[in-house]
Chain A
Amino acid sequence: MRKLRNFLSALALTALAAGPAVAAAAAPPPANVPVPYPHRVVTLVTHSSPGAGSDVFLRELVRYLQKYIKTTFIVENDEGGSGAKALSRVAGARPDGSMMYAATPTYILTSLLSKPAKTYRDLQPVVNFFTDSEVIYTRTDGPYKTLKDLIDRARASRGRWGAANPASLERQAAEQLRIAAKVNAAVVSHDGGGDLMINVLNGTLDMGVGEIEEIRAQLEAGKVRLLAVFNSQRIPGHPNVPTVKELGYNVVMEKFRGIAGPKGLPPEILKIWDDAALKILNDPEYKQRYLAVSLMANHIPHDKYGAFVEKFAADTSSLLKASGVIK
């Protein structure tokens, strides 16, 4: 019966995917013949709940991925244990490419903060797609026009800065900025982006650090202003917003989004994903969609992705240790 359900949702997803496929057929040279894949159905596991950030991202990705890989993708949400459940499920799956994991820094953080049965080291990073945009924002009718205003205020008296979650990268970034700028600022963590946004809007906080996706509504309505981004380069759609680094504070945060799988995946599977990722990032229609939400294409193939993830984990771990969050 479960098969039947999966089949039905597969059918539904195929119907969804048909949309972009039809549109692409009209475009000039349709060079994209989907590559054959050894499995009829591929399960993509995410730790995020239906409708939350990673989930929305993955469902959008899957629609376009089906143009390039000839299989049916199913997204399954395995919440619980802050990602530990999804981790152990994928780590224990057969390494044949039929089950993959939507990797974000969360699976590294959970591995570092607690002792899950399987850690990020039990998975093999396959390919990276994107870097999220992490921004510093303030309310439009507030007194701060640039990051300098904000830092000056914190230097003169005392800054009130906000970050979404206590153990998050945003929190770490705000702390690092405070140290790099040698100013006095209280960094207040919240229960998620909504809570933070209210306190930025009503002036309780001078600024907030968050993903651009979380603040897009307010940004488009002109209620908040971007002061700077933590990415290593300026982000698509906001070419006038400087990076923190170019303003002279050496703080960079690269929140990645990619795919990981069980250890021991065959090379041909890895190649299919490498190639498909490169193609989908250049797909004109998908490009338009992801640039609109300020995602930065960051293709890292499997032979380099492992080292990237390892370095990310090492950096995060030393940050957490330096601040005493973990021993």
Chain B
Amino acid sequence: MDIIYFLTIFAASIAGLVWGILGSSLPGLSASIVMALLLPFTYTLPPMPAIVMLACCYIGAEYGGSIPAILIRTPGTNSAAATVIDGYEMNRQGRANEALGISLWSGVLGGLCGLAMLVMFTEPLARLALLFRPTTYFGLGILGLSVIASLSGKSLLKGATAAVLGLMIATIGTDPISGVSRFTFGSPDLLEGITPLFVMVGLFAVTELMTRTGVPSASIKPGASIRVRLPRWPMMKKISRAQGIGCTVGSLEGLMPGAGGSVAAFIAYNEARRWSKEPEKFGKGSEEGVAAPEAANNAVASTALIPLLSFGIPGSNSAAVLLGGLLIHGLLPGPRLFETNSDVVTGIYIGSFIADISQIVIGTLILPVCIWLVNRPRPYLAAFIYALIVSGTYTVHQSSFDVGIVMTAGLLGYFMRYFGFPFLPAVLGVILGGLIESNYRRSLVLSGGDFGIFFEDPIAIAFFAIAALIVVGALVNEARAAMRARAAWSA
């Protein structure tokens, strides 16, 4: 191979990776926004490095979102929402460097696994992607929603209520089927609905700022070292099962256009917990609880390219930006891209590989700075987080209205916290609301109102079955816990 070709790929890949990691670690900037911001810079580049840079930016962005999730309890991107649970808990226990190390290591494995799928199984996976119908997406949405059962914390009742609130937020905007406006009150800013990431940033970051103001932080133990601790062999073994689950779920989810990394991360988290030897540690700083979602969302970054490259159909918002990049450079993704522009396709493969591997190096360089930053005196830290939130949110649509939405979500979060409602079910509701509603209705339009259509789709049936298992399992657990509590009470 030509050395110039390789060096070009290398440079483009590292540049994209670093941009992606740094950009997505700013709260409010989702992976697709970070890529869209990079896009204008690639106009002047030749096609191959431009596309490699964007693809590697995607990889970096899927990883970078976990940094603020662990350090300041705010997911940097949608798909890092599940990482907040155990990542931040580990941080509170003074194990931030360990959590960051696990997320980094799992991200690398997830990325490599997704890449292997992309390189070896593009053909069969593309055929699989063609099987997904509206009924399948509805099944996926229900499966995602069933995860609420294990995210609810102390009370299933409150978790379900929070989920309904999230679903309500998701109904704001243009109706997905008929196109009429719902709850927009005539405002054009609400036509496209409320961005889930804004709700997350508001619920987590703004609420945290509000409740902690002027309170000395008692529970976050100062981390002993700012050096990142990559997992050693025993830990690697311990989290390997969670990572395997994450890789599998993520690789498959990437194929489903529209589903994206956030659903994958939540499902992976839930499955890792079900199959774990220590399920009781989940939510209390479990290493597996960080490993599973991080492996999943990094795997998505590679397999989401399969529908894009083979059909020209983007598998996520981020893949849609990559599609824009291809089009601007006059490349038409689709079955013929592999013949006409094989240098670009090979470039993506090699570049992604370099990016996945270099993530370890870049991560160990960047993370100590991040850990150092969050260990500054509390007033400075709070001020800078606040500034970051208002600037990052504004960036998405250059709109002060959006900053207002984040503030409103913060207020909502404050009330929810005061009354003891968990945030994650609400987040899941916002993410899944559109997916569930539109595909349910789409299916019924297709069948002319016949519910039988949901049972003609084997993949959807499988999703329903798993969802039912999860919910029944959670109910049994809850009942058992209640009985145990009663027994303890009477004893």
Contacts and interface: CB of A to CB of B under 8 A. Distances in A.
Is any CB of A less than 8 Å from a CB of B in the complex? yes
Interface of A: 9, 12, 15-16, 49-52, 55-56, 59, 78-85, 110, 113-116, 158, 160, 165-168, 171, 186-191, 194-195, 197-199, 201-202, 204-205, 216-218, 220-221, 223, 324-326
A217 B311 contact: yes
B324 interface: yes
Nearest to A81: B188
Interface in B75-134: 129-134
Contacts of B279: none
Interface of B: 36, 39-40, 43-44, 129-134, 174-181, 184, 186-192, 257-258, 307, 311-314, 320-321, 323-325, 327-328, 332-337, 397-399, 401-402, 434, 438, 442, 445-446, 448
B188 A167 contact: no
Contacts of A50: 36, 39-40, 321, 324
18 contacts: A56-B324, A80-B398, A81-B189, A81-B399, A81-B401, A114-B190, A115-B188, A160-B446, A166-B175, A166-B178, A191-B434, A198-B307, A205-B446, A217-B334, A218-B335, A220-B332, A221-B335, A223-B335
Contacts of A171: 179
Given A50-B40, A115-B188, A202-B131, 17 more contacts: A15-B44, A51-B321, A56-B328, A80-B398, A80-B402, A81-B189, A114-B188, A160-B446, A167-B174, A186-B446, A188-B442, A191-B258, A197-B313, A198-B307, A199-B133, A202-B133, A217-B312
A69 B343 CA distance: 37
B43 A198 contact: no
B324 A110 contact: no
Given A50-B39, A198-B257, A220-B332, A80 B189 contact: yes
B281 to A, nearest CB: 38
B191 A195 contact: no
Contacts of A187: 445
B446 to A, nearest CB: 6
A85 B39 CA distance: 21
Looking at B184, B190, B324, the one whose CB has the most chain A CB atoms below 10 A away is B324
Contacts of B333: 217
Nearest to A50: B39
Contacts of B188: 81-85, 110, 114-116
A223 to B, nearest CB: 7
A198 B130 contact: yes
A223 B130 CA distance: 13
A325 B332 contact: no
Contact of A198 (B180, B313, B397): B313
Contacts of A194: 257, 307, 311-314, 320
A198 B176 contact: no
A217 B326 CA distance: 12
A115 B186 contact: yes
Give the interface centre of B44, B175, B191, B448 by most chain A CB atoms within 10 Å.
B191
A115 B190 CA distance: 11
B324 A55 contact: yes
A232 B325 CA distance: 32
Contacts of A52: 324
A205 B445 CA distance: 11
Contacts of A197: 311-313
Nearest to A82: B191
A195 to B, nearest CB: 6
B236 to A, nearest CB: 38
B327 A51 contact: yes
Contact of B398 (A79, A83, A115): A79
Given A51-B327, A52-B324, A116-B188, A198 B132 contact: yes
Contact of A166 (B176, B313, B448): B176
Contacts of A84: 188-189, 191
Contact of B44 (A12, A188, A217): A12
The 3 A-B pairs with the shortest beta carbon distances in the complex, nearest first, are: A51-B324, A217-B334, A167-B179
B445 A186 contact: yes
Contacts of A114: 181, 184, 186-188, 190-191
A15 B44 CA distance: 9
Contacts of B129: 198
Contacts of B132: 198, 202
B311 A198 contact: yes
A56 B438 CA distance: 29
Contacts of B179: 113, 165-168, 171, 189, 325
A189 B437 CA distance: 13
A201 B325 CA distance: 24
Nearest to B447: A186
Contacts of A191: 176, 258, 434, 438
A226 B165 CA distance: 44
Given A49-B36, A166-B178, A194-B314, A110 B191 contact: yes
